[in-house]
Amino acid sequence: MATENKNLSDYDKASIPNAKNFRFGIVVSEWNDTITEGLYNGAYNALIENQVGQENILRWNVPGSYELIFGCKKMQEQQVDAVIAIGSVIQGETKHFDFVCDAVSQGIKDLNILHNTPVIFCVLTDNTMQQAIDRSGGKHGNKGTEAAIAAIKMAHLNTIS
């Protein structure tokens, strides 16, 4: 398990680029909202901790993880420096899980290839609700925090000529 020996909320603040002048979009799935709200809070708090002003954080909600792709595409048009896609897909009894996870990961990958605004993948794809809880502020930390730090680093990378 990739997160077994790592706390997703841990990062070296001294190694994070100055984010004061960056603007971020966060697109949040309403499906599994207990999980996605925890992820959003982790991302939001990490951005604030790294000097991003509240006015420079734009949040949009979409119905589910599948809709994150379109939401992120539209968010890229809002003059943001990076977008964070937040969702949670939990394995059920059908193949729906596989189709949604594949489509969302491929769609976000495509946005990163086609556009110049980085989109950060913060979509939990867990086997159980407990695994999702553990990664959205539970015993493994918060994947939202990790995604926000990645967004800051990618926004900074995009400024390098």
What digits encode the pLDDT tens for the residues 137-158? 999 999 999 999 999 999 999 9
Report whether pLDDT(3) > 80.
Answer: no
- In sequence order, the 6+-apart residues with CB closer than 8 A to the CB of 39 are 28, 86, 88, 122, 124, 136, 137, 142, 143, 144, 147
Reply yes or no on whether 96 is catalytic.
yes
Q: Which CATH superfamily is domain 28-157 in?
A: Lumazine/riboflavin synthase (3.40.50.960)
Q: At what angle do helices 96-114 and 68-76 cross, to 10 degrees?
A: 10
pTM: 0.95
Per residue in 114-135, pLDDT (tens digit) is 999 999 999 999 999 999 999 9
Torsion, CA 25, CA 33, CA 134, CA 120, rounded to 10: -20
Question: From CA 137, how far away is CA 142, in angstroms rounded?
Answer: 4
The catalytic residue among 96, 115, 140, 156 is: 96
Residue carrying structure tokens 């553990």: 134
Q: Which pLDDT band, with edges at 50, 70 and 90, does 92 fall under? A: confident
Per residue in 13-64, pLDDT (tens digit) is 999 999 999 999 999 999 999 999 999 999 999 999 999 999 999 999 999 9
- All structural domains of the chain with their residue ranges: 28-157
Q: At what angle do helices 143-157 and 33-49 cross, to 10 degrees?
A: 50
Report whether pLDDT(93) > 90.
Answer: no
Q: CA gyration radius for the chain? A: 15
Between 6 and 91, residue with greater pLDDT: 91
